[in-house]
Amino acid sequence: MQADDLLHALHTRRILAIVRGDDPAAALDTVLALFASGIDVVEVSLTTTDALAVLARARAVLGPSAALGAGTLVTAADVRAAARAGAAFAVTPGVTRAVAEARALGMPVLAGAVTPTEVALALTEGATAVKLFPASLGGPGLLRALRDPFPTTPFVPVGGIDAESARAFLAAGALAVGVGGPLIGTAAHTGGDTRLPARIAAFRALAQETPCPTS
């Protein structure tokens, strides 16, 4: 996956689904259900039990073109392991060694940042987009403030994003929003979650309400 491919996918879908859980089989089922239902930009967090195996199995089912990435990448070793497992893009919680390693491997990367200094550093390190994290710290007001000095930077707020705040962040100019628990629920945990299809439908409808920013 090239950087432009990831940006286009985020621009089109507006939702980055974040899967984390304690049951590898349930996590795999969740990833596949998301793709099958039209939320097809998905991050599997390395905090998921057997996350690399989940990535590899999902990649085998979904094929090489699926926008399937790995998140919570902190070290260069994390990035290399995720790439071997089939991750097409990298997501980091901050500007760590993982950002430079992802760029060295040719992987698009969403680098975590929350201050102007961190945003500037993420861009200097070659981030494809900035993961505004934790987005709940400053809310949509922080995003609007950051877009003044960084008007062309693609921002993807992550952290504490529910349906209400997702709508507000998208209206404030986010390229997309990263959503974990409020979308996934307990689907990736033992026992699953029968309400996942309804939440997928709700978030897909929400994402279509707000036109994507052009700058």
Is residue 60 included in any domain, yes or no?
A: yes
Cα–Cα distances in angstroms (integers) from residue 99 to residues 78, 133, 137, 169, in the given order: 11, 15, 22, 24
Percent of the chain topping pLDDT 70: 98
In a domain, 215, yes or no: no
pLDDT tens digit string along 11-55?
Answer: 999 999 999 999 999 999 999 999 999 999 999 999 999 999 999
Task: Tell whether 32 is covered by a domain.
Answer: yes
Range of the domain at 101: 3-207
The answer to whether residue 53 is domain-embedded is yes
- Spatial distance between the Cα atoms of 157 and 177, rounded to a whole number of angstroms: 5
Query: 203 in a domain, yes or no?
Result: yes
Give the CA dihedral 118, 175, 102, 84, nearest 10 degrees.
Answer: 140
Q: Is residue 212 part of a domain?
A: no
Q: Where are the beta strands (DSSP E) in the chain?
A: 15-19, 41-45, 67-71, 90-91, 109-113, 129-132, 155-157, 177-179
| Residue from 101, 118, 131, 164 carrying the catalytic annotation | 131
pLDDT in tens, 121-162: 999 999 999 999 999 999 999 999 999 999 999 999 999 999
Is residue 118 annotated as a catalytic residue, yes or no?
no
| Global confidence as pTM | 0.95
**131 is known as an active-site residue:** yes
Task: Inform me whether the pLDDT recorded for 215 exceeds 50.
Answer: no
**211 pLDDT higher than 90:** no
pLDDT of residue 209: 83
| Residue 159: CATH number of its domain | 3.20.20.70
Over residues 85-92, mean pLDDT = 98
Structural domain count, the chain: 1
Asked whether residue 27 is domain-assigned, the answer is yes
Q: Please report whether residue 34 resides in a domain.
A: yes
